[in-house]
A and B are shown apart, each in its own frame.
Chain A
Amino acid sequence: MLKKVRRRYLALKIDSEETFGSRDFMGAVWDAVSRLYGEYGASQTGLALIDYDAEKKFAIIRTVHTTVDKVRAALASITRIGDKPVAIHVLKISGTIKALYKKIKQ
C-alpha cells in the first residue's frame, strides 16, 4: 500500500549581514544536501521552498518527516551563499504551516 507522506515545515532564520534572493538561498540548501548525502539522498528529502522573506531573513521550507535530521544537518553545514558568509538556524518545526506560524508567533 502506498504510504502517506508526512511532511514537516521548518522555519529558518538566515543569519548574515547580506540579503539573498530565494533562488540563491534554495540553491545553497540543495547544494548542501547533495554534497552531504548525494543526489539519491537529496531526492528523498522532497525539499520545497514555501515562504521566503529576504528583508526579514526568514524562510519556510518543506521536507519529509523521515529526512528532517538530514536536512537539519545540511542546513547547519551551510557557511556561505555565493561568497558571502552565512549561518542558517532552524527556529521551529511543525507538521502544518498553520501550526508553524502559530508556534513562531508565540
Chain B
Amino acid sequence: MKRNYADLHLRPDLRNSELVIRMIKKASELGYCLIAIPFPQNFPEERIRKLQNICREYKTDFVSRVDLKPQTSNELIRSLRKLRRRFEIIAVICESKHVARQAAKDRRVDLLNFSFYSPRKRFFDKAEAELASNALASLEIDVKPLLTLQGPTKTRLLSSLRREVAIAEAFHIPIVISSGASNELLMRKPRETAALASLFDLEKVSAMKAISENSMAIVKRNKEKLSPNFVAPGIRLIRGGEDC
C-alpha cells in the first residue's frame, strides 16, 4: 500500500507569496500529500483559504497550524482556549519547563517542539514523556537544524535527539518529523528525511511512520473534532431532524 506523507512544518515567510507557492509546489513534487504552515494568531481566514486553494491546484492537502510560544503556563491555557477551534494543528514551542509540563498534559496540544539551539531548553525528559503519554501530544523534530547546524552544536543536538527519541519510544509517544524548512532548498524527500532520522537512531520503520501515519493521525483526529457533527471522541451526529 502506498504511504501518504505529510510535512507539518513548512515555514515560509508569509509576506513573500512567491516563496510560499514555490514551497507548496516543491512539497508536491517531493511526494508530500499534506502540508501545514504555521500562521500568526490573527492571520486573516481568507488568506488561509487562498493558500488552501493553491495547495488544491498542486494536489496537496493543506492544514492550518499555529505555533504557540508562551512565557507562562497560564498564557498557554489562555491561547489554547482562544485558538483550539481556529487551527487544525497546535504546536507549542516550549521555552520553559513550566510551559513544557503544561503543554504535555493538555489534551488540546498536538505537538511539542523544543529549541534546537540550546540543549538546556530541551525539556523532553521522562517526566515530560509520562505526562504526554496520558494526553495526545506528539514530539515534533524538525530536520532543518540537522542541515544548517555544524560542528559541536550539531553533535550536541544529535545527542539530545537520540536521548529524546529513546524516551519517546519507551513511553509510546508518537514522534513526528517535519522539515521546518524556510525555503525550498531545505526541503527533502520523505525517504531522505527518514535517512536523516537514522542519525539520531530512529529506525527506518519508525521514521517512515513519523512522516506519514503519525502526522496523518493528528490531522485526521483534529479534522474530525472540528467538524460540526462531532459530539465527543467516538460519538458523532449522523443524522439530524425531529424524528431522530
Contacts and interface: CB of A to CB of B under 8 A. Distances in A.
A72 B185 contact: no
Interface stretch (A42-50, A52-60, A82-90, A98-106): A82-90
A38 to B, nearest CB: 12
Interface in B191-216: 191-193, 195-196, 198-199, 204
B166 interface: no
Contact of B195 (A76, A79, A86): A76
Contact of A79 (B30, B186, B189, B198): B186
B199 A36 contact: yes
B187 interface: yes
Nearest to B150: A35
B129 to A, nearest CB: 26
A75 B192 contact: yes
Interface in A58-92: 69-70, 72-73, 75-77, 79, 85-87, 89-90
Interface string A8-27: 00000001100000000000
Nearest to A36: B199
A15 B29 CA distance: 12
A79 B147 contact: yes
B185 A89 contact: no
B148 interface: yes
B108 interface: no
Nearest to A35: B150
B188 interface: yes
Interface of B: 30, 146-148, 184-189, 191-193, 195-196, 198-199, 204
Interface of A: 15-16, 36, 69-70, 72-73, 75-77, 79, 85-87, 89-90
13 contacts: A69-B204, A73-B192, A73-B195, A76-B147, A76-B192, A76-B193, A79-B148, A87-B185, A87-B187, A89-B30, A89-B189, A89-B192, A90-B192
